[in-house]
Amino acid sequence: MKTLQWVARLVSHNFWWKVLALSIAVLIWAVVASEPELSTFATAHVEYKNLPDGLELSAEPVTQIVLELRGPSGELRGLGDGGQHPAAILDMSNAAPGERTFPIDAANVRLSRGVHILRAIPSQIRLAFEQRLERSVPVVVRFQGEFHGHYRVASATAEPAQLAILGPQSHVAAVNSVLTDRLDVSSLTTTGRFQVNAFASDPFVRFRSTPTVTVTVTMTKERE
């Protein structure tokens, strides 16, 4: 008996507000349900997660794909416009050295509620993986204006003389040295010290730490 009384009080408390809220919810559902379903094409970002430690992508990854989608017209109009952006999320936790193919389908595409994927262009993404390699390579100092007047560069030393690089194994193995930005010594006649950054020409290769080196340059005067 007490339970029935409690339920009755719960229902009767703010009864008309509850009726109004229920009516609004039903109205919204009816509007959404009556929306025509349309198809459209949308650009989606490709996101990667769970790359195993010690493994590297050894080729340029795909960053965008095109999705053919179907859903309520209101949801399709709001794609990427302050709403949820469609995205393909690839789980790389089972990746190993070599090539691996990832299908693009409903299992790994994030979409707004009520929107469905019909197809992806491309329908698969193929990625190449390699073990990570780290090694130290010498720093090669470069100049501009190294011959001016009767002066030339007699010696140049970099500190540190080597920098640690890392990245996909085949890319790192192919790098024999890293280069500094060019030092302008056109106004130097004795000895000077410069701080300069080094770079690796391969974009897949990166530095273990900040690639700043201190270069000591000594100029000598040629005989006239």
Mean pLDDT on 53-71: 93
30 falls within a domain: no
Four-residue CA torsion sign, 139, 140, 144, 148: positive
Token readout for 102 is 């990832």
Residue-averaged pLDDT of the chain: 86
Radius of gyration of the chain (CA): 32
Give the other-Cβ count within 10 Å of 209's Cβ: 8
Residue at which a domain ends, from 122, 150, 185: 122
Do 172 and 194 share a domain, yes or no? yes
In terms of C-beta density within 10 A (0-12 exposed, 13-18 middle, 19 or more buried), how is residue 6 classed? exposed
Is residue 6 pLDDT above 70, yes or no? Answer: no
Q: What is the structure's pLDDT at 26?
A: 57
Do 113 and 149 share a domain, yes or no? no
What's the CATH number where 75 sits?
2.170.120
Do 173 and 115 share a domain, yes or no? no
209 falls within a domain: yes
118 falls within a domain: yes
11 in helix, strand or coil?
helix
Do 156 and 182 share a domain, yes or no? yes
Mean pLDDT on 38-52: 91
Four-residue CA torsion sign, 127, 133, 134, 138: negative
Distance CA 38, CA 76 (A): 8
Lowest mean pLDDT among 74-78, 93-97, 177-181: 74-78
What pTM, to 2 d.p., does this model score? 0.74
Q: How many structural domains is the chain composed of?
A: 2
27 falls within a domain: no
pLDDT band at 222 (very low <50, low <70, confident <90, very high): confident
Is residue 27 pLDDT above 70, yes or no? Answer: no
Residue at which a domain ends, from 59, 92, 122: 122
65 is in which domain, residue-wise?
A: 35-122
Q: Which residues contact 96 (CB under 8 A, 6 or more apart)?
A: 52, 55, 129
Is residue 54 pLDDT above 90, yes or no? Answer: yes
What's the CATH number where 208 sits?
2.170.120.40
**ω into residue 36 within 30 of 0, thus cis?**
no
40 falls within a domain: yes
Q: What is the structure's pLDDT at 77?
A: 72
Is residue 13 pLDDT above 80, yes or no? Answer: no
Q: What is the structure's pLDDT at 7?
A: 46
How far apart, in Å, are the Cα atoms of 189 and each of 7, 8, 63, 153, 182?
96, 98, 50, 9, 17
172 close to 200: Cβ distance less than 8 angstroms: no
Residue at which a domain ends, from 98, 122, 146: 122
12 in helix, strand or coil?
helix
199 falls within a domain: yes
Do 115 and 140 share a domain, yes or no? no
15 falls within a domain: no
210 falls within a domain: yes
Do 68 and 112 share a domain, yes or no? yes
**Segment 127-141, tens digit of pLDDT:** 999 999 999 999 999
Do 110 and 50 share a domain, yes or no? yes
Q: What is the structure's pLDDT at 125?
A: 96
pLDDT band at 105 (very low <50, low <70, confident <90, very high): very high
